[in-house]
């Protein structure tokens, strides 16, 4: 994702690279990624002089770097998933000092998919059961994906009910009949797949399927760069990707 973001930045006329950050011990440390820009492991050094940061890492690194960004007065865009409630609370604290935008997925098409899921759930009503299937590469560390959970939240919103207590993440053994208000999410892993998500609305004698398939990571990076350009200069607070993408 770092390489994809670098490429996307070259296509964004309002932004340029101001710093590059990597975890300690990585072989890329010290290498030059743009003229005069070297990869460092110190967040304060990487953020110095920047207006906005783009982060795709792991929850612990995201929280630490976001706090460093707040110290430097730098807006923060992150696509890290697998965040805990404590991590989200930490980002909310950072957002009191600088603008913060966290999203499970920066693809415009995926966010349109979430909108479609919300509307489908609203119009189909209680006669349709909702199930979500996602497939990602073998190296993905969190399951289900943040995007799948975002889609489940969209379905729940469309149904006019909270997701809490209705999410089903696994089925095995004698589990009984499917609860009528359940929203199931199943995760598959394999190969180098950047991500696939399918949402099924299953009724009696018919089924509606809404799907998105990624073949590269470029559209994630382009969306993140677009969000970073939009977030720059805004007031402190938590913002959504839907706001940044005009959805």
Q: Which residues are catalytic?
A: 136, 140
Pairing of strands 37-40, 32-34: antiparallel
Please classify residue 155 by burial: count the beta carbons closer than 10 Å to its beta carbon, then call 0-12 exposed, 13-18 middle and 19+ buried.
buried
Residues shown for the chain: 247
Whose CA is closest to 223, among 33, 8, 48? 8
Whose CA is closest to 40, among 18, 7, 15? 18
Tokens matching residue 180: 């009528």
Whose CA is closest to 145, among 80, 88, 203? 80
Cα torsion 225, 227, 233, 236: sign: negative
Cα torsion 121, 166, 85, 172: sign: negative
Q: What residues form DSSP beta bridges with 209?
A: 200
CA–CA separation, 182 vs 173, rounded Å? 17
For 140-160, what is the HEC assignment? CCCCCCHHHHHHHHHHHHHHC
Tokens matching residue 104: 């499970």
């Amino acid at each position: 994702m770092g390489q994809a973001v670098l490429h996307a930045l070259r296509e964004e006329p309002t932004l340029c690279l101001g710093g590059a950050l990597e975890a300690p011990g990585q072989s890329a440390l010290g290498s030059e990624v743009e003229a005069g820009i070297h990869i460092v492991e110190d967040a304060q050094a990487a953020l110095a002089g920047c207006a906005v940061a783009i982060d795709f890492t792991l929850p612990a690194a995201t929280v630490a770097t976001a706090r460093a960004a707040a110290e430097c007065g730098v807006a923060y865009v992150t696509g890290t998933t697998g965040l805990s409630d404590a991590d989200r609370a930490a980002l909310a604290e950072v957002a009191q000092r600088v603008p913060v935008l966290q999203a499970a997925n920066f693809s415009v098409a995926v966010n349109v998919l979430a909108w479609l899921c919300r509307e489908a759930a609203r119009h189909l009503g209680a006669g349709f059961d909702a199930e979500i299937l996602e497939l990602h590469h073998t190296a993905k560390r969190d399951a289900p994906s943040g995007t799948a959970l975002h889609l489940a939240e969209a379905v729940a919103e469309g149904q006019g009910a909270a997701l809490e207590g209705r999410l089903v993440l696994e089925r095995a053994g004698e589990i009984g009949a499917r609860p009528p208000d359940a929203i199931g999410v199943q995760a598959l892993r394999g190969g180098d797949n950047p991500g696939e998500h399918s949402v099924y609305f299953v009724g009696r004698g018919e089924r509606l399927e809404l799907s998105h398939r990624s073949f590269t990571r470029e559209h994630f990076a382009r969306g993140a760069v677009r969000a970073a350009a939009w977030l720059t200069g805004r007031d402190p607070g938590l913002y959504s990707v839907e706001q940044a993408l005009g959805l």
